[in-house]
Amino acid sequence: MSAVIIESGLVHYEALGRGRPLILIHGWLGSWRYWVPTMDDLSDRYRTYALDLWGFGDSDRRQGGYTLSEYVAQVRRFMDEMGIVRAPLVGHALGGVVALRLAVESPERVEQVMGVSVPLDGTAVGRSLASFSGNGDDILARVLGRRQASEYPEVRLEARKADGLAVADTVRAVMQMDLRRDLALVSVPVLLVYGGHDPLIQRPEEKERRRRWDEEDNVRVICLEESRHFPMLDEMNKFNRLLRQFLDTSGDLSALEVKEEWRRRVR
């Protein structure tokens, strides 16, 4: 277990591989652990870092509640502690919101952003997540349902450690935001990836995607049609190949595509 002290609190992280730094930020349901297959896949070319946000995994809990601005500051300070001047960010759900906010606030620190299952506004958040009060155990089962939760052992193991207030506070904050405004301010390449059957986060409608981003050089939206809320697990090979393709992109996102020969994970 690796950890650093940030603002007098312990922040747990794991690192793997050699090469350029790459930071992975988990979402509302889990911790660093579900990034392990991605970290392993990229370890030949990247030094991957996956940290636990405050109130998740083995990082400390915060007294008095949780804010998105604190999470943005946490990731920025983590980069400072690791000696990372600038890096691509991959963020899932809450982690994607944090990554986009960091790209707006500190563009000099961010090379690229892959946002996975990121709600662009409050209407995109599913009812079970939006109504979560922060009380009770087994957050994953409460939000996803016991049947789906049982299919993600790598998530379930860590989701039980989460502070329910960290989930509830930040879901409420995201539901009051319009991340489309942030996207308009981000100048680095942004790839938004959604699961076609995600019960928690609704992807942007095709009509909206065409209207807003077809002529934007730095924003692309791609859907992994067989995935649910965890594309990095549901269609592991497709996800990792797409991420590699994105990281190799010099700036033209129009060439990004999901190829049929990239097979999905078999559970």
Q: State the pLDDT at residue 149.
A: 85
DSSP designation for 19: S
Residue 69 CB: number of other CB atoms within 10 A?
12
Q: What is the rounded CA–CA span in Å between residue 264 and residue 239?
A: 9
- Kindly list the distances between the CA atom of residue 215 and the CA atoms of 100, 210, 254, in Å, as whole numbers in the listed order: 20, 8, 10
Helix (H/G/I), strand (E/B), else coil: 61: coil
Q: Do the beta carbons of residue 140 and residue 155 sit within 8 Å? A: yes
Where do the domains of the chain lie? 2-255
Q: Do the beta carbons of residue 82 and residue 17 sit within 8 Å? A: no
Q: Is the pLDDT of residue 135 over 90?
A: no
Q: Global pTM?
A: 0.94
Alpha helices by DSSP H, the chain: 36-42, 68-82, 94-105, 127-130, 139-144, 146-149, 153-159, 164-175, 179-185, 206-213, 231-234, 236-248
DSSP designation for 85: S
Q: 39-93, pLDDT tens digit by residue?
A: 999 999 999 999 999 999 999 999 888 999 999 999 999 999 999 999 999 999 9
As given in the structure block, the two tokens for residue 205 are 């409608």
CATH of the domain spanning 2-255, picked from 3.30.565.10, 3.40.50.1820, 3.30.160.60, 3.30.300.30: 3.40.50.1820
Q: State the pLDDT at residue 267.
A: 45
Q: 193-240, pLDDT tens digit by residue?
A: 999 999 999 999 865 655 565 556 799 999 999 999 999 999 999 999
Q: 3-51, pLDDT tens digit by residue?
A: 999 999 999 999 999 999 999 999 999 899 999 999 999 999 999 999 9
Report DSSP letters for 143-190, one per residue.
Answer: HH-HHHHTT-HHHHHHHTTS-HHHHHHHHHHHHT-BHHHHHHH--S-E
Per the DSSP assignment, residues forming a β-bridge with 125 are: 201
For the segment 229-257, the average pLDDT, to the nearest whole number, is 91
Q: Provide the pLDDT confidence category of residue 113 given band limits of 50, 70 and 90.
A: very high
Q: State the pLDDT at residue 260.
A: 67
Q: State the pLDDT at residue 212.
A: 60
Q: 138-190, pLDDT tens digit by residue?
A: 788 889 888 888 899 889 888 889 999 999 999 999 999 999 999 999 999 99
Q: 171-184, pLDDT tens digit by residue?
A: 999 999 999 999 99
Q: Do the beta carbons of residue 199 and residue 148 sit within 8 Å? A: yes
Q: What is the rounded CA–CA span in Å between residue 90 and residue 83?
A: 18
